[in-house]
Structure 1
Amino acid sequence: MSITYDNIVAAWQEKNIKSIADLDVALGDFRILFAYNSNKIEGSQITIHQTREIFENGKVISYTGDLRALFETENQRVCYEFLKNKIIDRDALTEELILEIQEKLCHGCYDESRWQKGERPGTYKKNYYGVGMSVGVLPEDVPEEVQFICKELSEAGLDNSEKILKAAAWFHCSFERIHAFADGNGRVGRTLLNYILMVNNLPPIIIFDEDKETYYMALEVFDHTDKIEGFVKFLKEQAVKTWTRKNTKGERVIIL
């Protein structure tokens, strides 16, 4: 029998996560794999082994690559530590929290050209970054757009897992369309997606780098049609991939 998204949800909810200690146990390897894939989607060259070293030891030995990639990985660890209490307390997702998350994930990572344009981590973009196809709303429209999607989420009436997943998918797609920041929009958006899921007692999801073309395609469909069905289906598939492994018989088993 194939494992479904509903099976993954049931296994997650059976863990009955009530404390930070519970959360740390549940997300032991997930934190590392999520950070690795979320950064790799954006082009990071840090390996999974180096990501694990940073999360578990706070340092990496004999690294000769781009320093920004190290900062981005350390920032993922810092951001998780920052969010743990909020996940357990089920704090609402607000504009202020989004700004804090972006500052944590992008701390020390803005390049010189952005810095000279007045851009700073933890603040909305001050310039328009359209390249080819237009990317995001105009800077002056960002605060109102972010406030709108936060308000819509807070009023969504999330009383079952399907509604929660659809709301999280809609929020993520809407956030990526707004493109609120000069940098880090993808990493912030994927963190927000999982924050929404976890504060509503659903399992977080890794969007795998190897599936990023499907991910981008699903975002583009939403961008042009406002339809989220394809993105919701993609998230369910990624959730099953996140929380299952093949056993010695080649069968998929849940690892929660």
Structure 2
Amino acid sequence: MFEKIDELKTELDRHRPLSPSMAKNLQEDLILRWTYHSNAIEGNTLTLLETKVVLEGVTVGGKSLREHFEAINHKQAIEFVEQIIQNQEPFNEWQLKNIHQLILSNIDTDNAGRYRTQNVIISGASHTPPDFLLIDDKMRELFAWYDSADSLHPVERACRLHSEFVIIHPFIDGNGRTARLLLNFELMKAGYPPCVITVDKRLAYYEALDNWASVGDKSLFFSLINKCLLESFKPYQLLLKF
């Protein structure tokens, strides 16, 4: 399924390392689009351009303080993930909780970086996350699987980490944004461009996740990520002409 993606990555690798100016341009574009779309999927009403000015330090009238912090926090979480990759640090629970803490900073301090202590339901979904008393065990199992999953194709490993995390739903809020950061952590670590799931694909995204969680069918999610990743190569293709 990921043959075309691997072909594009091979072509991108031929152009690496990118010039500092091009790398900076691509990173700024990525952070903006990733932040806007990931927040919009969760209901944030900032437009793409409003997100841009918020990330530049400008307050947008008529928008809530929470929406401003969601944009700022998400950028900081991306930068934290990039730092983990740059330092070649092994991924662990401490880093996961730090990512989540950044996501909910100045929004929900009591729950930022802490597993939920109550049961939840996911509106519209046909599956129910596990009892909160099982969270610690479920997360230990997830990290044990992750540490032994090196043989998987990097895109499949990224998809599985994202989706199994979502199914556990370990935090009271911020699980979706955190899951998409985990997805892209795996992809970026392996040299792929980050996958930006755009807000217009929100319904397909939710349906694919619910299909995975309720009946174990992973094909819809793999297909969706495959399409989104192909789109993620386009800025590189535009600038590098391949």
Q: TM-score, normalised by structure 2?
A: 0.87
Contact 1:8 1:254 in 2 (8 A): no
Contact 1:156/1:167 (<8 A) preserved = yes
Q: How many residues of Structure 1 are paired with residues of Structure 2 in the alignment?
A: 235
CA deviation string 1:120-175 (max 9, x = no partner): 2110001111256553111121122122112212211247xxx1111111111101
CA shift in 2, pair 1:229/1:134, >3 Å: closer
Alignment deviations for residues 17-61 of structure 1 (CA, whole Å, 9 cap, x no partner):
599998645422011100000000000011111211233x2x124
Determine the C-alpha separation between the residues in 1 that align with 2:122 and 2:215: 21
Q: Does residue 1:196 correspond to 2:186, yes or no?
A: yes
Partner Cα distance (1:136, 1:9) in 2: 35
Aligned pairs (5 A) from 1:211-230 = 211-230=201-220
Map 1:133-148 onto structure 2 (within 5 A): 133=126, 135-148=128-141
Aligned pair partner of 2:87 in 86, 89, 96: 89
What amino acid is aligned across from residue 136 of structure 2 in structure 1?
P
> 1:52-201 to 2 correspondence within 5 Å?
52-55=52-55, 57=56, 59-110=57-108, 119-130=110-121, 133=126, 135-158=128-151, 163-201=153-191
Aligned-partner Cα distance in 2 for 1:233–1:255: 26
Distance 1:63 1:143 in 2: 41
Shift in Å, 1:85: 2.0
Structure 1 residues 215 and 120, CA gap change in structure 2 (3 angstroms): same
1:220 CA drift (Å): 1.0
Cα distance per residue 1:191-216 (max 9 Å; x no partner): 01000111122221000100011111
Percentage identity across paired residues of the two chains: 22
Q: Distance in 2 between matches of 1:93 and 1:130?
A: 28
Alpha-carbon offset, residue 72 of structure 1: 0.4
C-alpha distance in 2 between matches for 1:145 and 1:152: 11
Q: Evaluate the alpha carbon distance shift between residue 85 and residue 174 of structure 1 in structure 2; reply closer, same or farther with a 3 A threshold.
A: same
Which residue identity is paired with 2:166?
E
Q: Which shows bigger deviation, 33-42 or 4-13?
A: 4-13
Q: Which residue of 2 aligns with 1:36?
A: 36
- Matched AA of 1:42: E
Rounded Cα–Cα distance in structure 2 between residues aligned with 1:36 and 1:93: 25
Query: Match of 1:182, as an amino acid?
Result: I
> Which secondary structure state, in structure 2, belongs to the residue aligned with residue 27 of structure 1?
helix
For residues 215 and 142 of structure 2, what CA distance do their matches in structure 1 show? 17
Give the deviation of 1:6 after TM superposition.
3.0
Q: Distance in 1 between matches of 2:139 and 2:72?
A: 26
Quote the Cα distance in structure 2 between the aligned partners of 1:85 and 1:19. 19
Amino acid at match of 1:189: A
State whether residues 37 and 197 of structure 2, in contact with CA within 8 Å, keep that contact through their aligned partners in structure 1.
Answer: yes
Query: Could you tell me which amino acid in structure 2 is paired with residue 176 of structure 1?
Result: V
Change (3 A) 1:18 1:40: same
Q: Contact between 1:12 and 1:203, CA under 8 Å: does it hold in 2?
A: no
More deviation, 8-17/180-189:
8-17
**Stretch of structure 1 that moved more, 95-104 or 236-245:** 236-245
Residue ranges of structure 1 left out of the alignment (5+ in a row): 246-252
Cα distance in structure 2, aligned partners of 1:39 and 1:73: 7
Q: Structure 1 length as normaliser, TM-score?
A: 0.82
Distance 2:136 2:206 in 1: 24
User: Structure 1 counterpart of 2:150, which letter?
Assistant: G
Deviation at 1:15, TM superposition (A): 4.6
